[in-house]
């Protein structure tokens, strides 16, 4: 084996987000890490533990009782808390606990639980019959049509949600069948200064002391089938639920996580790694950082806005800090240089053999050309995307596109605009009020509108320019143009009214074309721009569906250690051990924190630990939840297993498959692992089950939850 391949093989030793079907082949590594069960059993989607693991859509949760009780992260339920709160409440700040099932609150019409039922290789059905003569746009459309046919057939069973997922950059496709539960209720979430203790000051940084946990419950109709929310519904009985361990993990012990990691890019080209480091991440830091500061300033100036702005601020803050860490991680690990060296070695290897060159050289070269072919519009599109993050403009655009797509046969509509998508779209449109704050949105919209107008005239979308010129009171100068636009948009926006938004869903295009609402008229004006963007995206995707598989096939052949595909929101399993790390010279992080650290940090926000929590720590009544070696209750721990966004809320399991914690974060030094995994630095951060149980027992008085999970209260 070449020195390069030896290096790559060594780097992959501790990483891997494995497909369940791959786990039997990982038996030696699992046993070496300390797993005591049958590795083959981990491939069973209906057995333990995978049968208990569900997707919330962007987060993971796990059944911990036979009456539909789910455990996940606090930050995975904040949106539901916001939708569940009543006038005058701020459940993010106060926390919530339903002492009885009648007290549990609906998490919103769009809340979902998805349980994977089966996977089927459909590669031949998706791309097997495609003619090599197809143009890129036609190829994209053919793949889209084949995928929709498979999904439509799969979803003939009521209560089923299906998708076609791509693996290894399009070398393989699988049809994923999931049970979709539509009645999800909030059971318990601690206050923000427990679940998000330290906020952005501590975010991504070790040591952490966050009790990032929360509980939901899934309900079904009396017939046991998925149903919309109704007081008459009954708790869902899952096929499996995990056992909650009475003890947490110790340093060096085996742990594994089963969940739905969102997206990694470890199979991408060096050109894309470079563009990530020099273009996308700096854009997020510049623009996202500005919006984040604006949200924080608004909350500081008007604390009453926190009820609406806290959740979007938390989400954006997480993104900004993650990207900052990624940029630093790229620099520290030499990610761009590493990727260039890998691609150079790959190119040399391909060129060294005529058969390899004939198979892979041309598509790899063309792939790099496609990646850069839209550079001329990149900056304009980027700024328009930030402008388009306006909640009201997003709603207007979605409603207008729905009006057009509903004129087409269902199979020919855009993804996300088919009949199957209507219930969640209506729920999203209806739930916008939870975080809609027009005053803040106006400030943000003005900022990005000015950035678009600062572009050279030939780069400004003509559709936007024309709409601006037609705004009453518009002048030739930028200030007058912006002022007129803001008055037109925010003077009397009708879309701030929930009933008005919902009434527009399903209306024909003529209704929108005749509307005098500023945001509706802007959505109509931008529709041609949006269509151009969609067409260009589809042409690119068609090209990528031809070219990325060739690159991935060459790379996988060149580097056989590349055994697992990038994360793509499908069910995966990662495993490792509880371990600390050394972030820099003379600094060593041990892998556990305790409640002592909460007291040490306590003070002003974001370390305003709730008085009941501090009082319980001061009382020192640990019950059964103290770690003998630590002499107190552990809070969080580190492990070297491989995760990314979407794993949040996943149950951390021990060698017997029992729940010993919840993964909720990565460490700052390992954030760049979405692109290049650093085995010595990358760590996942977990809340220890003993802190969860102690908090429920000693602070929240949630004895009913403990008993439902088979745990006896032991404090007091």
Residue 678's pLDDT band (cuts 50, 70, 90) = confident
- 304-313: per-residue pLDDT in tens? 999 999 989 9
* φ, ψ dihedrals at 63, nearest 5°: -70, 130
- How far is the CA of 126 from the CAs of 143, 148, 171, 174, 535, in angstroms? 6, 10, 11, 9, 21
pTM of the model: 0.91
What does the pLDDT read at residue 1?
A: 29
Q: Within a domain: residue 159? A: no
Residue 8 has pLDDT above 60, yes or no: no
Residue 547 and residue 569 in one domain: no
Distance CA 683, CA 673 (A): 10
pLDDT average, residue stretch 301-323: 92
Residue by residue, what is the 3-state secondary structure of 637-671?
EEECCCCCCCCCCCEEECCCCCEEEEEEEECHHHH
CA distance 640 to 14: 7
- Domain boundary among the residues 561, 596, 613 is at 561
In this structure, are 244 and 333 located in the same domain? no
| Co-location of 513 and 579 in the same domain | no
Query: Same domain for 418 and 291?
Result: no
Tell me whether residue 330 is in a domain: yes
pLDDT band at residue 388 using 50, 70 and 90 as cut-offs = very high
**For residue 698, pLDDT beyond 50:** yes
pLDDT, average across residues 187-212: 96
Q: Are 550 and 628 in a shared domain? A: no
Do 283 and 248 share a domain, yes or no? no
Give the number of domains in the chain.
3
Catalytic residue (choose from 192, 199, 202, 212): 212
Q: Which domain holds residue 298?
A: 269-352
Residue 169: inside a domain: no
CA distance readout (Å), 165 to 56, 169, 567, 640: 17, 10, 11, 27
Last residue of a domain, one of 540, 561, 582: 561
Of 648, 650, 666, 684, which one is the catalytic site residue?
A: 648
In a domain, 147, yes or no: no
pLDDT in tens, 83-123: 999 999 999 999 999 999 999 999 999 999 999 999 999 99
Q: Same structural domain for residues 529 and 540?
A: yes
**230 and 284, same domain (yes or no):** no
pLDDT of 136 > 60? The answer is: yes
Q: Is residue 150 part of a domain?
A: no
Indicate whether 43 belongs to any domain: yes
Q: How confident is the model at residue 660 (pLDDT cuts 50, 70, 90)?
A: very high
> Is the pLDDT reported for residue 203 higher than 80?
yes
Span 407-420, mean pLDDT? 95
Mark which of 501, 531, 561 sits at the end of a domain: 561
From the list 75, 209, 677, 686, the catalytic residue is: 75
Task: Indicate whether 242 and 287 sit together in one domain.
Answer: no
What is the CB neighbour count within 10 angstroms for residue 335?
A: 23
Residues 346 and 392 in one domain: no
For the cut 80, the answer to whether the pLDDT of residue 6 exceeds it is no
Is 713 within the bounds of a domain? no
Length of the chain: 716
The predicted structure's pLDDT at residue 14: 65
pLDDT of 83-93, one tens digit each?
999 999 999 99
Q: What is the pLDDT of residue 3?
A: 29
Active site residue 648: yes
pLDDT digits (tens, 9 = 90+) for 23-76: 999 999 999 999 999 999 999 999 999 999 999 999 999 999 999 999 999 999
- For residue 666, cis peptide bond before it (omega within 30 degrees of 0): no
- Least Cα distance to 643 among 579, 580, 574, 577 occurs for 574
Q: Give the contacts of 492 (CB within 8 A, at least 6 positions apart).
A: none
pLDDT tens digits for range 31-42:
999 999 999 999
> Any catalytic annotation for residue 75?
yes
> Is 404 in the active site?
no
Q: How confident is the model at residue 562 (pLDDT cuts 50, 70, 90)?
A: confident
The reported pLDDT for the residue numbered 269 is 97
Write down the mean pLDDT value for the chain.
95
249, part of any domain = yes
């Amino acid at each position: 084996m070449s020195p390069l391949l030896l290096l790559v093989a060594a780097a992959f030793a501790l990483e891997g987000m494995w497909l369940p079907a791959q786990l039997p082949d990982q038996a030696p590594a699992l046993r070496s890490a300390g797993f005591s069960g049958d590795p083959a059993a981990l491939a069973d989607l209906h057995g333990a533990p995978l049968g208990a693991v569900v997707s919330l859509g962007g987060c993971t949760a796990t059944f911990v009782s036979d009456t539909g009780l789910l455990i996940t992260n606090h930050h995975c339920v904040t949106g539901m808390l916001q939708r569940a709160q009543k006038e005058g409440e701020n459940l993010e700040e106060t926390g919530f606990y339903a002492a009885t099932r009648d007290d549990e609150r609906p998490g919103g019409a769009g809340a979902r639980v998805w349980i994977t039922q089966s996977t089927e290789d459909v590669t031949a059905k998706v791309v097997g019959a495609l003619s090599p003569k197809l143009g890129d746009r036609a190829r994209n459309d053919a793949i889209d049509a084949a995928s929709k046919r498979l999904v439509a057939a799969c979803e003939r069973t009521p209560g089923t949600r299906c998708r076609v997922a791509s693996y290894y950059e399009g070398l393989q496709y699988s049809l994923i069948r999931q049970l979709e539960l539509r009645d999800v209720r909030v059971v318990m979430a601690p206050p923000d200064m427990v679940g998000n203790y330290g906020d952005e000051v501590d975010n991504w940084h070790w040591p952490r002391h966050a009790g990032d946990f929360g509980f939901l419950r899934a309900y079904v109709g009396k017939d046991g089938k998925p149903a919309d929310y109704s007081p008459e519904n009954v708790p869902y009985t899952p096929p499996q639920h995990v056992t909650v361990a009475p003890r947490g993990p110790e340093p060096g012990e085996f742990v594994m996580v089963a969940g739905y990691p969102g997206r990694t890019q470890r199979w991408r080209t060096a050109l894309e790694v470079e563009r990530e480091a020099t273009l996308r991440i700096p854009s997020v830091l510049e623009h996202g950082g500005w919006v984040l500061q604006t949200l924080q300033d608004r909350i500081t100036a008007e604390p009453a806005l926190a009820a609406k702005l806290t959740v979007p601020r938390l989400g954006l803050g997480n993104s900004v800090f993650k990207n900052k860490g990624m940029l630093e991680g790229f620099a520290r690990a030499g990610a761009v240089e590493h990727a260039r060296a890998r691609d150079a070695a790959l190119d040399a290897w391909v060129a060294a053999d005529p058969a390899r060159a004939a198979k892979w050289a041309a598509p790899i070269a063309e792939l790099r050309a496609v990646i850069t072919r839209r550079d001329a519009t990149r900056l304009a599109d980027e700024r328009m995307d930030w402008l388009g993050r306006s909640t009201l403009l997003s709603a207007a655009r979605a409603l207008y596109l729905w009006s057009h797509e509903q004129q087409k046969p269902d199979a020919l509509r855009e993804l996300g605009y088919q009949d199957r998508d209507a219930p969640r779209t209506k729920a999203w449109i209806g739930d916008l009020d939870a975080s809609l704050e027009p005053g803040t949105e106006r400030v943000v919209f003005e900022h990005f509108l000015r950035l678009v107008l600062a572009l050279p005239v030939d780069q400004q979308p003509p559709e936007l320019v024309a709409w601006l010129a037609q705004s009453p009171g518009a002048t030739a100068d930028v200030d007058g143009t912006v002022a007129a636009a803001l008055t037109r948009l925010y003077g009397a926006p009708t879309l701030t009214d929930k009933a008005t938004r919902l009434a527009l869903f399903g209306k024909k295009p003529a209704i929108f074309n005749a509307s005098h609402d500023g945001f509706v008229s802007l959505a109509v004006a931008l529709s041609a721009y949006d269509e151009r963007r969609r067409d260009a995206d589809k042409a690119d995707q068609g090209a990528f569906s031809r070219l990325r598989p060739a690159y991935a096939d060459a790379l996988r052949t060149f580097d056989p250690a590349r055994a697992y595909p990038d994360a793509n929101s499908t069910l995966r399993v990662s495993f490792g051990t509880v371990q600390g790390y050394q972030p820099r010279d003379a600094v060593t992080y041990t892998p556990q924190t305790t409640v002592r650290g909460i007291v040490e940090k306590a003070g002003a926000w974001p370390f305003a630990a709730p008085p009941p929590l501090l009082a319980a720590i001061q009382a020192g009544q640990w019950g059964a939840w103290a770690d003998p070696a630590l002499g107190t209750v552990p809070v969080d721990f580190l492990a070297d297993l491989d995760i990314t966004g979407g794993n949040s809320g996943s149950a951390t399991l021990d060698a017997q498959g029992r729940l010993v914690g919840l993964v909720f974060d990565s460490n700052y030094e390992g954030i760049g692992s979405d692109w290049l995994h650093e085995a010595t630095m990358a760590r996942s951060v977990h809340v220890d089950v003993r802190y969860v149980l102690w908090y429920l027992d000693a602070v929240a008085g949630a004895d009913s939850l403990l008993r439902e999970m088979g745990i006896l209260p032991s404090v007091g």
